[in-house]
Amino acid sequence: MKKFPWNDECIQHALQQLPMIKDHRSKEEVYRQLVKARKIARLKAWFLPSLASVIATMLVVALSVPNFPMKRGQEEKAEKADKPIITLQAEEHSGESRPLLSVNEYDDIPSRIVTEEALNGQNIVVVGLPDAQSQVVIPLSVPVRKYESVKQQLETAKTKIDEQIWGVSKRLLNGVTMEPSRDNKQVWTVRVSKQHPVFSEGLTSETMFLSSIEETVRWMGGKKIRFFTENKEGVELSRSGYVRTLKLSDKKRAYYLYQQSPSHPVFLVPSPQRFQTFFEALTQMKKDVDASMRSAIPKGVHIEKVDVQQDNVAIRFALDSQLDVSPLTCWMVEAILLTAKEFGFRSVTLMGGNVKRIGPYIFGKKIAVPVGPNPIVATLPAR
Amino acid sequence: MDSVFEELYEKYHDDIFNFLFYMVRNREQAEDLVQEVYIKVLRSYKRFNGKSSEKTWLLSIARHVAIDFFRKQKSWRRKILEKFDWNDAQLCDIQPLPEEIAIQKEEIQLMYRCLERCTVDQQLVIILRFIHCLSITETAETLGWTESKVKTTQHRALKVLKRYMEEEAAKGGKQREKISME
């Protein structure tokens, strides 16, 4: 066979010689066609929702009539209701400020994770915030605009989180900017103002401050944090001392349930301690950490076997496990998925338990680990 | 005429069209897709906050439009295969070389043909890096990837491109030998 002396440089040079292919149409012609195409697009945007409204009205009328023969679709409907219904970002055509879901709807949504599927190509950022009583740091997933810088996305996310509704405190992250370095996305710069309360408060504030930043940066893929007090390197904390950098190692934590009060939602929060193995983490998830961090695996659920298969982990529940469809069992699965993510698994397969599914999670199929925990219902600013 | 359209057309139309053409390799389809890009851009232009460059923002929209097109085409292809009980090899659409390429030297024509055999991700990186001359950072911004992913994909793309070129050239050589013997 004939040898060809092409190396990378030759290939690159040849690629650069590929000609520019130009549109043969004139500007006016392109614009004319664009106007036409926009009209069709608008018509579609108007017609399809209108059609949907008409169908919805007809359905409401049909359902309100007693004994209407509609039993056929009931099973399908029940199945749909089980699926996570979080839409992190709606279609981008309304000019008004609108909630993605109204605030009091959160109890209707059992899911406490964001899946790649629900994300639907949109972006989220995860912000770690202390609860209002400074007991734990809660990671919250907030939908953001794709074309903003990460720094801006985090700032926007903070403004979208309502402290009252979610029972968190943003105080320690106010006046703090976080952004990845330009040349190394794993190294993050965190800048704090001189007047920040962490400089004048005690150990709890310092711990919560550092933990919140660590949690945020960890979820955003950072491995190292460089602190600055305005333009001066490092932060001088009265109890923890001078902190210049913080290296983030893999934590391998377990997830627990946390609810600040009955009027606040239940969140999935990581354990303060780390575990050697995934099995050990699962075992610990059956026990409460304290009065506020409750076990994520209910007492009636027994894990028979954990089988690691490369980046998938199979979990077999004992046949006598009580796996009824309730928010608690759904959150158990989600806490397991988040814990699996901590241990580097990419998917989880649930088996046994004498059930075919728990909510949207089907047994025997690989379930991808989530992209974020605790999606919050946010209000998008006006566009 | 819409002033935003006019400005974008003057500044970036050639770039967007060229990008879409190299992605879909068909002039008519590129013309349709460029329309879609403008619709999306004009709808969201007010929200463009200037954090990234206007060019990379537009190219990222064009990339989404192209990927959507491939997705639709794939499902169309699947439907056809099911309906007619064909296999994938039977349903291949060979595009003639565009005029601009056909007048180039053989090596460039070969390059154009081999580029099609690369994966969509590899094509995206090659088109942005070498045909549009974007930097690694700009390419990463356009594709929404990390810079290291761009570098890795570029490295792999150049490697497979070299292999495809050698394969194609060898095939061409053999064919030429056959013809001359006859």
Q: B54-93, pLDDT tens digit by residue?
A: 889 899 999 999 988 887 766 555 554 454 444 444 444 4
Contact of A318 with chain B, judged by CB distance below 8 Å, is answered with no
Of residues A162 and A335, more confidently modeled: A335
| Three-class SS of chain B | CCHHHHHHHHHHHHHHHHHHHHHHCCHHHHHHHHHHHHHHHHHHHHHCCCCCCHHHHHHHHHHHHHHHHHHHHHHHHHHHHHHHCCCCCCCCCCCCCCHHHHCCCHHHHHHHHHHCCCCHHHHHHHHHHHHCCCCHHHHHHHHCCCHHHHHHHHHHHHHHHHHHHHHHHHHHHHHHHHHHHC
Both A38 and A128 in a single domain? Answer: no
Contact of A186 with chain B, judged by CB distance below 8 Å, is answered with no
Both A63 and A130 in a single domain? Answer: no
Pairwise CB contact (< 8 Å): B100 & A149: no
Contact of A382 with chain B, judged by CB distance below 8 Å, is answered with no
Both A137 and A246 in a single domain? Answer: yes
Res. A383: pLDDT tops 70: no
Percent of chain A residues topping a pLDDT of 90: 35
Would you say residue A181 lies in a domain? Answer: yes
Q: A281-330, pLDDT tens digit by residue?
A: 999 999 988 888 899 999 889 999 999 988 999 999 999 898 887 888 99
Both A63 and A142 in a single domain? Answer: no
Listed in sequence order, the residues at least 6 apart from B1 whose beta carbon sits closer than 8 Å to its beta carbon are A27, A28, A31
Q: What is the chain B residue with the closest CA to A34?
A: B35
Both A140 and A242 in a single domain? Answer: yes
Pairwise CB contact (< 8 Å): B9 & A30: yes
pLDDT of residue A60: 54
User: Nearest CA of chain A to the CA of B77: how many Å?
Assistant: 23
Would you say residue A230 lies in a domain? Answer: yes
Both A45 and A154 in a single domain? Answer: no
Query: Number of structural domains, chain A?
Result: 2
Both A239 and A127 in a single domain? Answer: yes
Q: A218-244, pLDDT tens digit by residue?
A: 999 999 999 999 988 888 887 777 888
pLDDT of residue A118: 81
CB A285 within 8 A of CB A297: yes
For residue A177, name the pLDDT band (cuts at 50, 70, 90).
very high
Would you say residue A197 lies in a domain? Answer: yes
Both A122 and A246 in a single domain? Answer: yes
B131 to chain A: which residues are within 8 Å by CB? Answer: 15-16, 18, 20
For residue B127, name the pLDDT band (cuts at 50, 70, 90).
very high
Both A139 and A238 in a single domain? Answer: yes
Structural domain harbouring A233: 118-251
Would you say residue A2 lies in a domain? Answer: no
For residue A203, name the pLDDT band (cuts at 50, 70, 90).
confident
Q: A155-169, pLDDT tens digit by residue?
A: 999 998 988 888 899
| Angle CA A86–A345–A119, to nearest 5 | 20
User: Nearest CA of chain B to the CA of A33: how many Å?
Assistant: 7
Hey, what domains does chain B have and what are their CATH numbers?
A: 1-94 (1.10.1740.10), 96-182 (1.10.10.10)
Res. B13: pLDDT tops 90: yes
Percent of chain B residues topping a pLDDT of 70: 77
pLDDT of residue A44: 60
Pairwise CB contact (< 8 Å): A18 & B130: yes
pLDDT of residue A372: 94
Pairwise CB contact (< 8 Å): B9 & A31: yes
Would you say residue A184 lies in a domain? Answer: yes
Q: Which of A104-108, A227-231, A280-284, B109-113 is least confident?
A: A104-108
For residue A91, name the pLDDT band (cuts at 50, 70, 90).
very low
Which of B57, B137, B158 shows the shortest C-beta gap to A11?
A: B158
Q: A50-66, pLDDT tens digit by residue?
A: 555 556 656 555 555 44
Contact of A21 with chain B, judged by CB distance below 8 Å, is answered with yes
What is the ipTM, given to two decimal places? 0.82
A6 to chain B: which residues are within 8 Å by CB? Answer: 162, 165-166
DSSP secondary structure string for all residues of A152-183: HHHHHHHHH--HHHHTB--GGGTTEEEEE-SS
Instruction: Name the domain boundary from A69, A99, A129.
Output: A69
Instruction: Name the domain boundary from A199, A234, A251.
Output: A251
Would you say residue A109 lies in a domain? Answer: no
Both A45 and A123 in a single domain? Answer: no
Q: How large is the average pLDDT for residues A178-197?
A: 90
Both A122 and A247 in a single domain? Answer: yes
A2 to chain B: which residues are within 8 Å by CB? Answer: 169-170, 173
Both A64 and A122 in a single domain? Answer: no
Would you say residue A32 lies in a domain? Answer: yes
pLDDT of residue B84: 44
Would you say residue A177 lies in a domain? Answer: yes
